[in-house]
A = this chain, B = another copy of it.
Amino acid sequence: MTARDISPLQKAFYDVIFGTETPAGKWFDIILIVAIVASVIIVMLDSIWNLHTEWGWLFWQIEWVFTVLFTVEYLVRIWCSPNRKAYVLSVYGVVDLLAILPTYVALVFPQAASLLIVRLLRILRIFRVLRLLAFLNEANILAGALRRSTRKIFVFFSMMMIITVIFGCLLYVVEGPESGFDNIPISIYWAIVTITTVGYGDVVPLTALGRAISATGMLIGYAIIAVPTGIITAELASGLRGNHLTTRNCSQCSRAGHDLDARYCKYCGSDLPPLSRDGE
């Protein structure tokens, strides 16, 4: 990533738009969140037929105000980036573009109105602001727990996939083709709806045997709801426990991560400084 030299003016804009340390940067972020949420709400309201027929022209005008604002913001972001190409091609750069493009496209090709829904991707932009604000640490703990659990969750999902296929097929065979379980994909859809305990009730077993098998499946699903929960919890708990380690650094090798009851450095064997009172 090759950074360009940027002028002081660009640097100032950069600090406000990309940064969060300065008061101006904070205000910019807050205003941006408000604008994003407002524009998303407008898109949602516009999808309601009654409101669209009555207030559609107003929504359209407000939408253009937001689009112009976001366009200006996007251009300024490009202009003040030290590395323009990296920004434009980054995930956030693409989301920023997708947030404004559909409105222009709909202007040129009115028949592409369904593209307007893409504007709702604007909501992803909130992530950027949150990321910059103070929630980095919490999100990191969560993300760390999820990342460390990836393989366990993969194993779990494979298991669940196989369970839903088996129960779906069982019900497909038992219930027969006339009672909602018309084909195997629908039966698997039913199995997922059931095992996740969503339970819409749009496809439902009607025979005695089908109900008995379903009930078994529910109890199994109920038991294995514990598995992903337990995985993440255990990971989170061990992540938190990590937080409970002292931040004492060994005076010889400077490494941290010593248990509360450690008296000697576990890496180099030299004495550790005594525990200060703030260790809970």
Query: Can you identify 13 A-B contacts, CB atoms within 8 angstroms?
Result: A44-B184, A47-B172, A47-B183, A47-B185, A117-B169, A142-B231, A192-B215, A199-B200, A226-B229, A226-B231, A226-B232, A261-B267, A264-B268
Interface of A is mostly: helix
- Closest residue of chain B to A148 (Cβ to Cβ) is B240
- Closest residue of chain B to A223 (Cβ to Cβ) is B228
Binds B, one of A9-17, A64-72, A149-157: A149-157
Does A263 contact B267, Cβ atoms closer than 8 Å? yes
Known: A135-B155, A186-B211. A200 touches B197 (CB 8 A): no
Binds B, one of A75-83, A86-94, A104-112, A269-277: A269-277
Binds B, one of A21-29, A55-63, A121-129: A121-129
- Stoichiometry (number of copies): 4
Known: A139-B155, A200-B199. A259 touches B266 (CB 8 A): yes
Residues of B within 8 A of A262 (CB): 266-267
Does B151 contact A138, Cβ atoms closer than 8 Å? yes
Question: Which residues 228-280 of A have a CB within 8 angstroms of B?
Answer: 228-242, 244, 247, 254-271, 274-275, 279-280
Residues of B within 8 A of A157 (CB): 219, 223
* Minimum-distance CB pairs A-B, first 4: A264-B269, A262-B266, A198-B199, A230-B233
Does B229 contact A238, Cβ atoms closer than 8 Å? no
> When chains A and B are docked, how far (Å) is the Cα of A40 from the Cα of B141?
38
Query: How distant is A200 from chain B, measured CB to nearest CB, in Å?
Result: 4
Question: Which residues 151-172 of A have a CB within 8 angstroms of B?
Answer: 151-158, 160-162, 165-166, 169, 172
Query: How distant is A62 from chain B, measured CB to nearest CB, in Å?
Result: 16
Does A154 contact B182, Cβ atoms closer than 8 Å? no
In the complex, whether A227 has a CB less than 8 A from a CB of chain B is: yes
Does A233 contact B237, Cβ atoms closer than 8 Å? yes
Partner of A280, one of B153, B162, B219, B242: B242
In the complex, whether A2 has a CB less than 8 A from a CB of chain B is: no
Known: A158-B126, A194-B198, A230-B145. A185 touches B48 (CB 8 A): yes
In the complex, whether A34 has a CB less than 8 A from a CB of chain B is: no
In the complex, whether A98 has a CB less than 8 A from a CB of chain B is: no
> When chains A and B are docked, how far (Å) is the Cα of A280 from the Cα of B124?
36
Partner of A218, one of B172, B196, B202: B196
Partner of A269, one of B173, B177, B269: B269
Residues of B within 8 A of A255 (CB): 261, 263
